[in-house]
C-alpha cells in the first residue's frame, strides 16, 4: 500500500546523501518533496502541515548541523515524526479485571468487520483466550451465516439466536429483522455463563450520515458496556477516512482503530491520518483475505516499512510461529554433527516458509527491498508449489542422497511432478549450493562470507594483490564412451610400464652424477666445462 510513498521518500533521501553539509535551501527542498509525497498519498492536509513543520524545525536545529552525517540525521527525524503520526507507542488491548472482556466492532458498510471479527477471535485464541463471537449484525442479508462460517474456520463458537436478514426473504410474511441490542446483551450473558473470557460483538455497518443506525450502535454500546470499541476502517478510502472517523467518534465513540485491506494498492493516507486526527491509537491491521493475515500494529515498524528500513522484528515473530522449535533444534544438531543437509530437510524448511504466509510479503519486510520491488512483484508464488511437487516425486533414497539421481531418474521425477527435466536440474543445482552453504556454516559457526569462511556462490570480491598459491590441476576423468575409455586405460598402462628417464631424485630426468664406471671424458659437454672435469 505504501509503495508509492516509500519510493518518493527514498528518492528524496538519496539526493541528500551526496552532500556533506546541508544548507537551509537543501532542507527546504527536502521538506517540499516530503510534503508532495504525503499529499499524493491522500494524507489529510492538516496532518501534512503539522508533520512537515516539525521536520523542518528539527532539521534546521543544531541536531542536524552538528551531526557527523546530516543526511542520516534527517532520515532519523522523518522516521521519528512518522512514528508520532502513526500513534507513537503500540498500545495492547485492555482486558477487564473481571471477565468477560467485551469488544464492540463498529464501522462503515463494507469495511470488513465480519471477517475481521474472525481474525481477531483466532488471534486471541492463539494467545490462550476463549473468545465468543456474537452475531448482532441483523441488517445485512446473510451476515449471521457469514459470521458462523468465519467462526468455524477460526475454531471459535458463535452466539447467533436470530438468523437475521435473509436475501430474498424481505417480503415474506413473519419475517423480522430482530433486535440487535437484545442479541448483544444476551450474548454477553451467555459468555459469562459459559466461562468465555472475551466477547466480540459484530454490529451492522452504517453510514456516517445515518442517524438511525448510529443510534442503534450507541444503544448496543450502552447495553453491553464494552471495554474496547474498535472502529474498523477501510485503509483504501483515502481523505474521507478523517471525516468518517470523526463522525463515529462523535456518534458512538471508539477507543482504538483497526485498519482493514492494508494489502490493497491504494495510497495509504487513511493510516497516516486517522490516529493523528482522532487521537485514538491503531491497534491492529488486516493485511489479506486469510484469517492469518492479521497483525498487531506497531507504529515504529510501519514507519520502518515506509522508509524502506524493513521490518525484521515482525518477520522474526512470524518465523517463530511457523517453525517448530523442536525441529529447529534437531536441524541445528544435525548440522553441528556434520551430517548432510538433505532434500527431506529442505522440504521441511519450505513447508515452514509456506506457513509464514506470502513470500512477497516476507521479502518486503527485509531492509532495502524497495529497490527490488518490481522483481518481488513479479515473483511467482507457485514456484514454491513446483519445488514441493518435484521433491515429493522423489523416493526417500533420492531425497537423502541426491547424488544417485541420474538422467533416467530425473526424467521420471519430472514426469511425476508435472515439470520438465530442466526444472529438476535447476532445483538440484540450487540445492547443491544450499548444501555447500550449510556445510560451511557447520564448519565455521556462522554464515559464509564472514570471517574468512568463504563466499556464497555468486558473491564477488576484490582479487588479492599478492601472489596466489598454485592450484592443483583437476584430474581428467574417464570418458563415457566405452571404446575411448579402453584406449585411455591402455595408454595409462603403457606409461606406467615405461622406464623412467632418470633416477629417483632427478628433477628433470637428468642424472645428478655419472653412472658408475662411466668415463667423464666420454661425456659430451658444452665448451668451457672441461676444466671442471680435469680434462
Dist. CA 205–CA 53, nearest whole Å: 37
Residue 206 annotated in ligand binding: yes
Dist. CA 265–CA 1, nearest whole Å: 5
348: three-class secondary structure by DSSP? helix
DSSP string, 52-109: HHHHHHHHTSHHHHTSSSHHHHHHHHHHHHHHHHTTSS--PPPPPSSSPEEEEEEEBT
Residue 178 annotated in ligand binding: no
Residue 113 annotated in ligand binding: yes
Phi-psi map region of 470: left, alpha, beta (phi>0 left; psi -120 to 50 alpha): beta
List residues bridging with 260 in a β-sheet: 234
Complete edge-to-edge strand list for the sheet that includes strand 101-107: 158-159, 131-135, 198-202, 101-107, 228-234, 256-260, 282-286, 294-296
Residue 155 annotated in ligand binding: no
Number of H helices, E strands in the chain: 22, 8
Residue 108 annotated in ligand binding: yes
Cell 664406471, located at residue: 517
Measured N-to-C along each axis, helices 299-306 and 3-16 cross at an angle, to the nearest 10 degrees, of 70
Residue 218 annotated in ligand binding: no
**Is the CA virtual torsion 350, 352, 357, 360 positive or negative?**
negative
**Whether 218 contacts 96, CB under 8 Å:** no
Q: Which three cell numbers stand for residue 77?
A: 527525524
**Whether 186 contacts 144, CB under 8 Å:** no
Residue 263 annotated in ligand binding: yes
Residue 269 annotated in ligand binding: no
Residue 466 annotated in ligand binding: no
Sequence-ordered list of residues with C-beta below 8 angstroms from that of 291, at least 6 positions apart, any chain: 118, 119, 122, 150, 153, 154
Residue 107 annotated in ligand binding: yes
Dist. CA 203–CA 135, nearest whole Å: 7
Residue 205 annotated in ligand binding: yes
Residue 262 annotated in ligand binding: yes
**Whether 229 contacts 254, CB under 8 Å:** yes
DSSP string, 260-279: E-TTSSS--HHHHHHHHHH-
Q: Where are the beta strands (DSSP E) in 123-244?
A: 131-135, 158-159, 198-202, 228-234
**Whether 223 contacts 203, CB under 8 Å:** no
Distances (CA, A) of 55 to 52, 63, 247, 331: 5, 12, 30, 48
Angle, CA of 281, 285 and 291, to the nearest 5°: 145
Dist. CA 272–CA 2, nearest whole Å: 10
**Whether 269 contacts 238, CB under 8 Å:** yes
Residue 116 annotated in ligand binding: no
Q: Which residues are annotated as a binding site for GTP?
A: 107-114, 202-206, 260-263
Q: Which residues are annotated as a binding site?
A: 107-114, 202-206, 260-263
Amino acid at each position: 500500500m505504501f509503495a508509492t510513498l516509500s519510493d518518493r521518500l527514498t528518492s528524496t533521501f538519496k539526493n541528500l546523501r551526496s552532500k556533506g553539509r546541508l544548507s537551509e535551501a537543501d532542507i527546504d527542498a527536502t521538506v517540499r518533496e516530503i510534503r508532495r509525497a504525503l499529499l499524493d498519498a491522500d494524507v489529510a492536509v492538516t496532518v501534512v502541515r503539522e508533520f512537515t513543520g516539525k521536520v523542518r524545525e528539527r532539521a534546521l536545529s543544531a541536531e542536524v548541523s552538528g551531526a557527523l552525517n546530516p543526511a542520516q540525521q534527517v532520515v532519523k527525524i522523518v522516521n521519528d515524526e512518522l512514528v508520532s503520526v502513526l500513534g507513537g507507542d503500540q498500545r495492547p488491548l485492555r482486558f477487564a479485571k473481571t471477565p468477560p472482556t467485551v469488544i464492540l466492532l463498529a464501522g462503515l458498510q463494507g469495511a470488513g468487520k465480519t471477517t475481521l471479527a474472525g481474525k481477531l477471535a483466532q488471534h486471541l485464541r492463539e494467545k490462550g483466550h476463549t473468545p465468543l463471537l456474537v452475531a448482532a449484525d441483523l441488517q445485512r442479508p446473510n451476515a449471521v451465516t457469514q459470521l458462523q462460517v468465519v467462526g468455524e474456520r477460526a475454531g471459535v463458537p458463535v452466539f447467533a439466536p436470530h438468523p437475521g436478514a435473509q436475501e430474498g426473504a424481505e417480503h415474506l410474511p413473519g419475517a423480522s429483522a430482530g433486535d440487535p441490542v437484545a442479541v448483544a446483551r444476551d450474548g454477553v450473558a451467555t459468555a459469562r455463563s459459559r466461562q468465555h473470557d472475551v466477547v466480540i460483538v459484530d454490529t451492522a455497518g452504517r453510514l456516517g450520515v445515518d442517524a438511525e443506525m448510529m443510534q442503534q450502535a450507541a444503544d448496543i454500546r450502552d447495553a453491553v458496556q464494552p471495554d474496547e470499541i474498535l472502529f474498523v476502517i477501510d485503509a483504501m478510502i483515502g481523505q474521507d477516512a478523517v471525516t468518517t472517523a470523526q463522525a463515529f467518534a462523535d456518534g458512538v465513540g471508539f477507543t482504538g482503530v483497526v485498519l482493514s485491506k492494508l494489502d490493497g494498492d491504494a495510497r495509504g493516507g487513511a493510516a497516516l491520518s486517522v490516529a493523528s486526527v482522532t487521537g485514538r491509537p491503531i491497534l491492529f491491521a488486516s493485511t489479506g483475505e486469510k484469517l492469518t493475515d492479521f497483525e498487531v500494529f506497531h507504529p515504529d515498524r510501519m514507519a520502518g516499512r515506509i522508509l524502506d528500513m524493513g521490518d525484521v522484528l515482525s518477520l522474526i515473530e512470524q518465523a517463530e510461529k511457523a517453525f517448530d522449535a523442536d525441529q529447529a533444534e534437531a536441524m541445528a544438531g544435525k548440522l553441528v554433527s556434520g551430517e548432510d543437509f538433505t532434500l527431506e530437510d529442505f522440504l521441511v524448511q519450505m513447508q515452514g516458509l509456506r506457513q509464514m504466509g506470502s513470500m512477497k510479503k516476507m521479502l518486503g519486510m527485509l531492509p532495502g527491498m524497495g529497490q527490488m520491488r518490481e522483481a518481488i512483484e513479479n515473483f511467482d508464488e507457485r514456484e514454491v508449489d513446483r519445488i514441493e511437487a518435484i521433491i515429493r516425486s522423489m523416493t526417500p533414497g533420492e531425497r537423502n542422497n541426491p547424488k544417485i539421481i541420474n538422467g533416467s531418474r530425473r526424467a521420471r521425477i519430472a514426469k511425476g511432478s508435472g515439470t520438465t527435466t530442466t526444472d529438476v536440474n535447476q532445483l538440484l543445482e540450487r540445492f547443491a549450493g544450499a548444501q555447500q552453504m550449510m556445510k560451511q556454516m557447520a564448519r565455521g559457526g556462522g554464515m559464509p562470507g564472514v570471517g574468512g569462511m568463504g563466499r556464497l556462490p555468486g558473491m564477488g570480491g576484490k582479487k588479492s594483490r599478492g601472489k596466489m598459491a598454485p592450484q592443483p590441476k583437476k584430474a581428467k576423468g574417464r570418458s563415457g564412451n566405452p571404446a575411448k575409455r579402453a584406449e585411455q586405460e591402455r595408454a595409462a598402462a603403457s606409461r606406467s610400464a615405461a622406464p623412467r628417464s632418470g633416477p629417483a631424485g632427478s628433477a628433470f630426468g637428468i642424472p645428478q652424477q655419472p653412472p658408475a664406471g662411466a668415463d667423464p671424458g666420454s661425456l659430451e659437454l658444452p665448451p668451457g666445462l672441461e676444466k671442471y672435469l680435469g680434462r
